[in-house]
Amino acid sequence: MDRLLALLALLLASIIWGGTFVIVGDAVRDLPVFHLLACRFGLAALCLAPLVRRGPTGLGFGEVLRDRGAWYLGVALFASFAFQTAGLVSTTPSRSAFLTALCVLFVPLLRWLWTREAITREVGLGLLLVMIGQVLLYSRGLGAASFGWGDLLSLLCAIAFAIYILLAERFARPGRSVALTFVQSLVVALLAAPSLLFQPPTVAEFTPTAIGAILFTGILASGVAFWCQLFAQQRLSAVETALVLTLEPVLASGFSIAVGREPLAASTVLGGSLLLSGVALSQVRIWGPAGGE
């Protein structure tokens, strides 16, 4: 039951993050990206602050802020957003999305380098199906262009988020999810805040679209969704987490199709089906006997 709750929490996070692509895509036309990051994570920290001392541990802010693990999480999370944002300047969104999604491969590789722990056959086959699905899902936008600077930054984003997932596996503990989410949000906001000094925001930037994006991403995408991930990683491994989170592009495509931003293509349906199959296969031992090495 605990594992099922963890999977449902990650699914909720994927649904929320899948809906951010369209919202953020509209918002960054009015509000610079790092301004949006500072505002969304600042809002997340502000909303979570009253909940920190009401959690099961009842920790004070001083002890919460001294949690080095939460600061490591915040730095890794900021790095992933910064690399992705910088990469989008000189590569296409589809190429960026595909390269960022390679996080699902970096997690087991880095985990093996860190712990020397092998993955199960089910997870290995699930990874293969997921990667084939991702190629199909992004095939129309990958193009034949050579590997450029923006692509390298997108790849670094994938590595940074893989490190974030591995750090979350290590530091996520029962009763600490709210505190960890609060501190990592505060760290990202602080690291993004200098952009407000070098490029002071104007009132005109805060359009209704931008304000709506700040509210949605701050409360749901940064607060609720990352809390869901840290809650889930108390019960799921980093590799399982990465696999489940690959559902995000499927959901993002679904939202884009629903609002008329992109057509429904056969490659999207087939790629999404393989992604779903890969995630389901990696979790078969929940309902059946384990089939590990």
Alpha helices by DSSP H, listed for the chain, are 2-18, 20-27, 33-52, 61-65, 68-87, 93-101, 103-115, 121-142, 149-171, 177-192, 194-198, 208-215, 225-232, 238-245, 247-258, 266-282
- Give the C-alpha separation, 55 to 175, whole Å: 7
Identify whether 265 is part of a domain.
yes
Identify whether 125 is part of a domain.
yes
Both tokens of 31, joined, read 């509000």
Identify whether 293 is part of a domain.
no
Identify whether 104 is part of a domain.
yes
Q: What is the pLDDT of residue 283?
A: 58
List of the chain residues with pLDDT < 50: 286-293
Residue 213: CA atoms inside 13 Å, Cβ hemisphere, count? 25
The count of domains in the chain is: 1
Identify whether 150 is part of a domain.
yes
- Give the C-alpha separation, 173 to 234, whole Å: 6
Identify whether 169 is part of a domain.
yes
Q: Are 20 and 217 in contact (CB under 8 A)?
A: yes
Q: What is the pLDDT of residue 293?
A: 35
Identify whether 292 is part of a domain.
no
- What are the tens digits of pLDDT across the range 238-285? 888 888 887 776 766 676 677 666 677 777 678 777 877 776 776 565
**CA gyration radius for the chain?**
19
- Give the C-alpha separation, 81 to 44, whole Å: 16
Identify whether 291 is part of a domain.
no
pTM assigned to the model: 0.82
Q: Which residue range forms the structural domain that includes residue 268?
A: 2-286
- What are the tens digits of pLDDT across the range 54-90? 655 555 667 778 888 899 999 999 999 888 877 876 7
